[in-house]
Amino acid sequence: MRILNGIAGAPGVVSGKVLYYEKKVGSSAETDIDTAVKKCIDKVKKMYNKALADLGEDKAKIFFAYEMLLGDQMFIGPIKEAIAGGDEPEKAVADVSESMSGVLMKKENEYLRQRADDIRNVGNMLREIICGADDDFSFPEGDDKYIISAQELTPVDTMLFDHSRLLGFVTKEGGATSHTVILAKSIGIPAVVGVSELDRSSDDADAYLDGYAGEFVINPDAEAKSVYDKRVLDEQELLKSLDTIKKNDAYTKDGERIKVAVNIGKPSDLKCSEDSKFDGVGLFRSEFLYSSSKEKPPVKQQCEAYKKAADLVYPKSVTIRTLDVGGDKQIEYFHMPKEENPFLGNRGIRLCLSNEGVFSDQLKALLMAGYGKRLKIMLPMVTRIEEITRTRELLAEVKEELEREGTPAADDIELGIMIETPASAIMSEVLAKHCDFFSIGTNDLVQYIMSADRGNSAVEKVYNPFNPAVLKMIYKVIQDGADAGIEVSVCGDLAANPDFTEILLGMGLKKFSVPLPMLNRIKKKISDINLSSAKDVANEVLKAEDEYEVEKIIRRG
């Protein structure tokens, strides 16, 4: 028996045979670069259509990005130059993609780091085609399902598999937010990444894959079998119960109605919600409208996107977060000056208020889209009252302008704020008087309270939501919101983490907003919790002195 540990990627526990996936790559160039690029474009187009049909537009866009890259002379040009200078095509592709992705990997900007991943994946595909790699993969005869084990799986590889025969993925390469993990989540299978020591020797072995614990168990002995069989059974029970849960609203075990909304990046994300019941959209990150085009999106285009989301969930509401860029999220045409400390710089509402023209356009689109719909506006990165009052003034100006034009606009649109900075959390009692709702953005709140960059693995021990400093802040905000009679939700990752459901409920939280793949799991978790005992656990946690004590209390249950 071998138990290999890795990073928990996508949730689930399965047992089955292992299939070691490896492409047969020739050793020398069989195809010239132009033919290889053409073949590669055909391949990613096919993948785009398959992903669009199976997984929706959001996942398919990965392949669209690949196609763009293959047509980009900034990428293909230097490869051709190196070949003209005498390099073997395979070497030229490897050198150029490695050096370009290496430069981008060092950037602070998350978007650019993801592009590095794209360049590496496209480079690998091109090299495989050049070397005549055989990727006509097919599963062994029969209907058996397999746990795929591989050194690395590109999004293209994952799309090549017949999904009905997949139990899960385990790979050496890739992090918790890699495309393979994202795709595994949308297919609904577990994934464990970052497992060293994967090789062909496990081919056809019996194994367990636990996507919660990040464990891959090969040739289990009798003792391990009884432990992991129980986990597989529990998971099957959970999945069965999710089928019932998805048709219902969320209630705690003792009958308290809790709202569970979803986080989206664009209206088409809602396509994946199928027949699940949820309480509207708690966070619509409007950045995609700005980052997916080369210039700022026209009011009409924005209005259509907001309206579409509002229509899809009506009569439930959609909360649209106004543009939240700066920090780790850059938009080229904004020409944001380089800052020494971008996370403490001109980002979120600050940036919007220093570009009032752009901001007013967004407010205009929101007021137009909100007419006759249930749409709310939410401001990111708020630290001061003035940011809310200035937004209200701009809203009034835009409303007047629309009235003059005779364009219908929403009346009394609700205006809320994200609580994701220490200043807003400390002053939540006062801020509650100036806005209609709070949504706690725990991703940023944790980083600012703990003074630890959310994307820096060197300080991931400090960036710890179990820390009492974070939990005390969240409790305070929930209480201040309740005292002021305004709605409080959590829309950061903590809301989607089942480890925190009980304490958030115990602290008095009545609304969660989570990514769609976690919707029914969180509804299920809520249904297993008794509010009165949740309050006891929350009280205990709030007395804890450090994150280890908190974790112990949470894990005990």
Q: Is 123 in the site for ligand PEP (CB under 6 A)?
A: no
Euclidean distance between CA atoms 90 and 153, whole angstroms: 20
Helix (H, G, I), strand (E, B) or coil at 209: strand
How many binding residues for ligand PEP (CB under 6 A)?
A: 10
* Interactions with ligand PEP, residue window 292-331 (CB under 6 A): 324
Q: Is 442 in the site for ligand PEP (CB under 6 A)?
A: yes
273 interface partner picked from ligand PEP, Mg ion, none, CB below 5 to 8 A per type: none
DSSP code at position 182: H
Which one of residues 179, 185, 231, 285 is an interface residue with ligand PEP (CB under 6 A)? 285
Assess whether 179 carries a catalytic annotation. Answer: yes
Residue whose pair of structure tokens reads 């392949």 in the numeric block: 63
Q: Is 326 in the site for Mg ion (CB under 5 A)?
A: no
118 interface partner picked from Mg ion, ligand PEP, none, CB below 5 to 8 A per type: none
Rounded to a whole number of angstroms, the minimum distance from the CB of residue 515 to Mg ion is: 14
Residue whose pair of structure tokens reads 């708020």 in the numeric block: 382
Among the options 40, 131, 272, 491, which is catalytic? 491
Query: Residue 189 corresponds to which tokens in the numbers above?
Result: 């299978």
Rounded to a whole number of angstroms, the minimum distance from the CB of residue 466 to ligand PEP is: 16
Query: Which residue, 93 or 377, is less far from ligand PEP as judged by CB?
Result: 377
Euclidean distance between CA atoms 475 and 311, whole angstroms: 34
Give the number of other Cβ atoms within 10 Å of residue 265's Cβ. 17
Query: Residue 196 corresponds to which tokens in the numbers above?
Result: 């060293």
Which one of residues 276, 360, 407, 443 is an interface residue with ligand PEP (CB under 6 A)? 443
Rounded to a whole number of angstroms, the minimum distance from the CB of residue 348 to ligand PEP is: 8
**Contact indicator for 60, 52 with CB cutoff of 8 Å:** yes
CA distances from 297 to 90, 289, 310, 401 (A): 40, 6, 19, 20
The stretch among 55-63, 171-179, 418-426, 539-547 that binds Mg ion (CB under 5 A) is 418-426
Q: Is 491 in the site for ligand PEP (CB under 6 A)?
A: yes
Q: Is 492 in the site for ligand PEP (CB under 6 A)?
A: yes
The angle that helices 89-105 and 73-84 make with each other, rounded to 10 degrees, is 140
Euclidean distance between CA atoms 534 and 179, whole angstroms: 35
Query: Which residue, 84 or 423, is less far from Mg ion as judged by CB?
Result: 423
* Pairing label, strands 437-440, 215-218: unpaired
Query: Which residue, 63 or 284, is less far from ligand PEP as judged by CB?
Result: 284
Q: Is 215 in the site for ligand PEP (CB under 6 A)?
A: no
**Contact indicator for 302, 361 with CB cutoff of 8 Å:** yes
168 interface partner picked from ligand PEP, Mg ion, none, CB below 5 to 8 A per type: none
Query: Which residue, 9 or 441, is less far from ligand PEP as judged by CB?
Result: 441
In 314-426, where does DSSP find H-type helix? 349-353, 356-369, 385-405, 422-426
Euclidean distance between CA atoms 205 and 231, whole angstroms: 19
Query: Which residue, 215 or 420, is less far from Mg ion as judged by CB?
Result: 420
Of 135, 148, 201, which Cα lies nearest the Cα of 174? 148
> Residue 378 belongs to what H/E stretch?
strand 375-379
Residue whose pair of structure tokens reads 């989607």 in the numeric block: 496
Assess whether 434 carries a catalytic annotation. Answer: no
Of 441, 435, 299, 313, which Cα lies nearest the Cα of 377? 435
Query: Which residue, 202 or 263, is less far from Mg ion as judged by CB?
Result: 263
Query: Which residue, 15 or 322, is less far from Mg ion as judged by CB?
Result: 322
**Contact indicator for 418, 391 with CB cutoff of 8 Å:** no
Among the options 179, 272, 352, 435, which is catalytic? 179
* Interactions with Mg ion, residue window 442-501 (CB under 5 A): 444
Q: Is 282 in the site for ligand PEP (CB under 6 A)?
A: no
**Contact indicator for 198, 150 with CB cutoff of 8 Å:** yes
Euclidean distance between CA atoms 95 and 82, whole angstroms: 9
Rounded to a whole number of angstroms, the minimum distance from the CB of residue 452 to Mg ion is: 15
Q: Is 502 in the site for ligand PEP (CB under 6 A)?
A: no
Of 428, 434, 463, which Cα lies nearest the Cα of 449? 463
515 interface partner picked from Mg ion, ligand PEP, none, CB below 5 to 8 A per type: none
* Interactions with ligand PEP, residue window 396-425 (CB under 6 A): 420
Q: Is 444 in the site for ligand PEP (CB under 6 A)?
A: yes
* Pairing label, strands 281-285, 13-20: unpaired
**Burial class, 126, CB count within 10 angstroms (exposed 0-12 / middle 13-18 / buried 19+):** buried
Query: Which residue, 153 or 509, is less far from ligand PEP as judged by CB?
Result: 509
157 interface partner picked from ligand PEP, Mg ion, none, CB below 5 to 8 A per type: none
Euclidean distance between CA atoms 84 and 375, whole angstroms: 57
Rounded to a whole number of angstroms, the minimum distance from the CB of residue 441 to ligand PEP is: 3
Rounded to a whole number of angstroms, the minimum distance from the CB of residue 286 to Mg ion is: 13
Q: Is 128 in the site for ligand PEP (CB under 6 A)?
A: no
Residue nearest to Mg ion as judged by C-beta position: 444
Q: Is 416 in the site for Mg ion (CB under 5 A)?
A: no
**Contact indicator for 194, 178 with CB cutoff of 8 Å:** no
Which one of residues 211, 282, 297, 441 is an interface residue with Mg ion (CB under 5 A)? 441
Q: Is 269 in the site for ligand PEP (CB under 6 A)?
A: no
Q: List residues near Mg ion by CB under 5 A.
A: 420, 441, 444
Among all residues, which ones are annotated catalytic? 179, 491
Q: List residues near ligand PEP by CB under 6 A.
A: 283, 285, 324, 420, 441-444, 491-492
